Structure 1
Amino acid sequence: MSGIHPFRVLRAKPLWMANGIITGVLALLFAVFYVGANIDPVGHMTKLPVGLVNADKGAGQVNLGAQITASIRKSTANGDKIDWKVMDERELKEELGEGKLFGALVVPADFTSSVTALTGTTTTGTPARPTLTVLTNQSAGSLGSGLARAATSQAAENASRQVGKELTARIGPAQAKLPAAARVLLADPAAVTVKDGHPLDSHSGLGLTAFYYALTLVVVGMLSANVISGQVDHALGYTHNDMGPRRLHRPLIRATRVQTLAISSTLMAGLSLVMGSLVMAGAVGIMGMDASHLPLLWLYSVCAVAVAGFGALTLLAVFGTPGMLVVTLVFIGMAVPTAGATTPIEALPGFYRFLAEFEPLRQITGGVRSILYYDAQGDAGLARGWVMMAAALVAAALFGFGVLGWYDRKGLHRIPVETTSAKPAVPA
C-alpha cells in the first residue's frame, strides 16, 4: 500500500490538463449550440412560410384585395425572409391545422366595397373601417408565430397605406366633399386585426407542451441508458457498484462487447414500456396536459424512449467513458436548439438547419406535436417522426454492433485489471 497522501494527486498536471480540456470544450460547445442558434433569429430568418389569402369579392371592375396580395408578393422589403404562399381559405385552414404555416394574412370578402364606401359623399357619421386579418399559429412555435405576426402586420400596414395613396390620387379634388372622418381614413384605410388561426387548449403551454414532452422522452431514454449500461457492467462483474458506504462486486461473467450491448438493449426495450407509460401518466394524468389520441401517444412515447435509449447505449458502448459526453452533445447540446420548438428552423443559421435534418429531438417533437395539436395527421410531422425513428434505430444498430464486432474480432476485449472473484461485500 502506498504511503502517498491522496491529496497529492492534485499536484499532477495531467489531471488538471485532461479535465480542464474536457470540461472547457464542453462549456464552449454548449455556448455555441445554445446561444449561437438563438442570438439573431430575425437576421437568419429565411423563407418562413406564411399564408396569403385574398377572399375579396371586389366591386365592379375593382378588386383591391388582388392588388394588395400582388404588391405583397412583389415587395422586396422582406427580401427572402418570408415565403408568401397564396392560397384559398380552405387550403389555409388545412395548412394551419397541419403546422405548415406560422401565420397568414387574410383580405376579407368585403374589403373593396368597404374601402370604396369611404369615398362616398353621402356618408354620414364615422365610416366603417375595412380590416385586414393577421392570423397567428402558436402550435407551430411561439417565436415563429411571433416572427410571422410581425412581418405580416408590417406587410398589411404597408399595403393599407399604398391603397390609401392610390385612392387619394384617384378621387383628387373630390376629397373636399368627403366627411372629415373619411378623409382621415382615406390615407390609411385598413385596420389590422390579429386572431389565432389555430387555437389550442388552455393546458397546451402556448404550443410548447409538445417540445417539453418530447424533450422528456429523449432525456429519460438518454439517462436510463447510462443507468442500464452501468448496471449491466455490474451484473457481469466488470465494475463495482457503490451503494452508500457499501461496495458491491459480483463474480466476473465474461461477455463480448456485442453480447453486452445486446443485453443492455434488451433491458432498454423492456423498460421503455414502463418509462414511456410513466412519462405519459405524469404529463397527462397528474399534470393535466391537454392530449388526445392517448393510445397512439403511449405507443409513440414508448418507441421514442426506446430509440433514444438504444442510440445512447450504442454511443456509450463504442466510445466508453467519453461516451456520456458524446451522448450529452448529441441528445441535448445539439438537439435542443435545432428542435424547431423555440426558434423555427427557418430562423436558424445554416449549420443548425443542417443539424435539424437528423437530430433526434426535432423528429420526435414533430410527431408529438402532430398527436397533440394536429389530430395525429401524418403530414403534420407524425409520418416523418416514425420514419426517422426507424432510420435512427437501424443506423444505431449497424454502427453499434458493427464497431463492437470489430472490437471483438481484434481482441479488444473488456478484460478487468483484477480477474479473481470478488470477496463478499463489506462496509467500505
Structure 2
Amino acid sequence: MNGIHPFRVLRAKPLWIANGVITGALALLFTVFYVGANIDPAGHMKELPVGLVNADKGAAVGGKQVNLGARITESIKKSTAGGDKIDWKVMNQKEMKEELGKGKLFGALVVPADFTSATTALTGTAPAGTPARPTLTVLTNQSAGSIGSSLARTATTTAAENASLQLGRQLTAQTGAQQTKLPAAARILLADPAAVTVKDGHPLDSHSGLGLTAFYYALTLVVVGMLSANVISGQVDHALGYTHNDMGPLRLHRPLIRASRVQTLAISSTLMAGLSLLMGTLVLAGAVGIMGMDAPHLPLLWLYSVCAIAVTGIGALTLLAVFGTPGMLVVTLVFIGMAVPTAGATTPLDALPGFYRFLAEFEPLRQITGGIRSILYYDAQGDAGLTRGWVMMAAGLVAAALFGFGVLGWYDRRGLHRIPAETTPEKTAVPA
C-alpha cells in the first residue's frame, strides 16, 4: 500500500488528454462516416442505372408509320433535366427484367406496345373507337435498396411526365384546327397524353424487410464475427496464462504457457474457424427459424454465413494481434465505422460522395451484403453479387493471413515478445 487514494489519478493530465484524443477522434470519425455519407444522396447522385424500354409497336398515321415511343425515349435520353444523375440503359423488356432481377437497375421506364395507337386515338386520326389514355410505366426495385429505388422512381416519374408534356405540345401543334372538332376532354388529354403509373419491377416476399433483410443479415454476420474475435482473443490469452480472467468478484489466472505471437494468432484463428460453424448455424436459425425471414437456398446461405463470420473474425483477430490494445478501435472503424455507410444497402453507391465509393470497393460489409442479397433476392446468381462476395472474402482472408502472420513473425524475430524471456543469472565460480 502506498497510501495514495485511487481518485487522485483523475488529477493526471495525460489520462484526460489521451482518452480525450481517442474518444474525440472516434466521435468525429463516426459522424463523418455516418452523417456525411447520407446527408445529401440526391445531390451526390451520379449515373444511377435506370432501364429505358420502348416496347411500342407503332401505328400507321396518315399513310406513314409512326412510333411515338421512340420519340419519348429519345427525348428522355437527350433531356438535360437530370444532367448526369441518371444513366439511362436502353434495352428490351427481357433484358430489363433480367437486370432488375440481378439488382443492376434501380428502376425502369417502360413505353407499352400500344402507346402510339392509344395516343393517336386522342387526335381522332386513328380508327374509330373509344380512346384510352396511353400509359407510361415506372418500375421500382426495392431489392436494390429502398433509397436508390426511391431516387430512381422520382427521377423516372419526372422524366416521364416531362416527356408526356413535350409530346402533347407536338401533337397539339400537328392537329391544328382539328382540335375544335375534338371533345373538350380529348383536348385536355392531348396536352398531356400519357398517364404515369408506378409498379414494383421485382416484387419481394412479405418477410424481406422491403429489401433490407440482406443488409441487416450481413451486418449481423460482421458484428458477430467482430465481437467473437474480441472474446476469443481474450480467452486464448487467459488459457495461455498471459492475462487474468475476471468473473464477477473472482479473478482466475492460469500458469503461463509461452507462445510466440504467430502461434497465438494461429490458435485464435483455428478457434474462430471452428466456432464459425456454430455461430453461422445459430444466425441462420434465428433469422429464418425464429423470426421467419424469407430465405431460399438455405444450404448456400448457411455456408456463406459461416464463411463470412470466419473471415470477418480472423480479420479482426489479425488487427487485434498486430495493434494490441488499440486494435479494437481499428476493428470498430474498419468493420463498422467505415462499413455501414458504404454497404450500398440503404443509400446506393451511386448517391455517395467519391470518397465513400472508394471505401466501398474493399469494405467487407459491402462485399458480404452483395452476396447475401444475391442469395435472398436474386436466386443466387453469380453476377448479381454472389461471385464478387466469394472472391472478396477469399482475398480478404489471404490479405489478413499475409499481413497478420507477416507482421507478427517480424515481431517474434525481433524478440518483441509479449512477456520478455526470464534471464538466468550466470553461475560464478567459488574459490576453494
TM-score normalised according to structure 1 size: 0.96
Q: Which amino acid aligns with 1:228?
A: I
2:8 paired with 1:4: no
Q: Is the 8 A contact 2:59 2:67 kept in 1?
A: yes
Which residue of the other structure, out of 172, 192, 200, is the alignment partner of 2:204?
200
1:325 matched to which residue of 2? 329
Q: Which amino acid aligns with 2:236?
A: V
Q: 1:210 to 1:122 in 2, by over 3 A?
A: closer
2:380 matched to which residue of 1? 376
Q: Is the 8 A contact 1:126 1:181 kept in 2?
A: no
1:289 matched to which residue of 2? 293
1:23 matched to which residue of 2? 23
Q: Is the 8 A contact 1:121 1:179 kept in 2?
A: no
SS in 1 for 2:80: coil
Measured against aligned partners, the alpha-carbon deviations of 1:335-365 in whole angstroms (never above 9, x if no partner) come to: 0000000100000000000000000000000
Q: In the aligned structure 2, how far is the partner of 1:231 from the partner of 1:91?
A: 53
Q: Which amino acid aligns with 1:247?
A: R
2:249 paired with 1:260: no
* Residue correspondence of structure 1 range 237-252 to structure 2 within 5 A: 237-252=241-256
2:404 paired with 1:400: yes
2:73 paired with 1:69: yes
Q: CA deviation at 1:408?
A: 0.5
Q: Is the 8 A contact 1:126 1:182 kept in 2?
A: no
SS in 2 for 1:118: helix
SS in 2 for 1:192: strand
Q: CA deviation at 1:124?
A: 9.4
2:426 matched to which residue of 1? none
2:427 matched to which residue of 1? none
Q: In the aligned structure 1, how far is the partner of 2:172 from the partner of 2:420?
A: 88
**What runs of 5+ residues in structure 2 fail to find an aligned partner?**
424-432
4+ aligned runs moved over 3 Å, structure 1: 121-127, 416-419
2:11 paired with 1:14: no
Q: CA deviation at 1:417?
A: 11
2:56 paired with 1:56: yes
2:38 matched to which residue of 1? 38
Q: Is the 8 A contact 1:121 1:177 kept in 2?
A: no
* Residue correspondence of structure 1 range 133-282 to structure 2 within 5 A: 133-282=137-286
Q: Is the 8 A contact 1:34 1:337 kept in 2?
A: yes
1:412 matched to which residue of 2? 416
Q: Is the 8 A contact 2:117 2:126 kept in 1?
A: no
Q: In the aligned structure 2, how far is the partner of 1:379 from the partner of 1:122?
A: 45
Q: Is the 8 A contact 1:273 1:302 kept in 2?
A: yes
Counting aligned pairs with the same residue, the percent is: 87
Which residue of the other structure, out of 294, 304, 311, is the alignment partner of 1:300?
304
Q: CA deviation at 1:127?
A: 3.7
Q: 1:241 to 1:47 in 2, by over 3 A?
A: same
Aligned residues between the structures: 419
Which residue of the other structure, out of 90, 93, 118, is the alignment partner of 1:89?
93
Q: 1:125 to 1:66 in 2, by over 3 A?
A: closer
Q: In the aligned structure 2, how far is the partner of 1:265 from the partner of 1:418?
A: 28
Q: In the aligned structure 2, how far is the partner of 1:81 from the partner of 1:342?
A: 18
TM-score normalised according to structure 2 size: 0.95
Measured against aligned partners, the alpha-carbon deviations of 1:273-331 in whole angstroms (never above 9, x if no partner) come to: 00000000000000000000000000000000000000000000000000000000000
Q: Which amino acid aligns with 1:41?
A: P
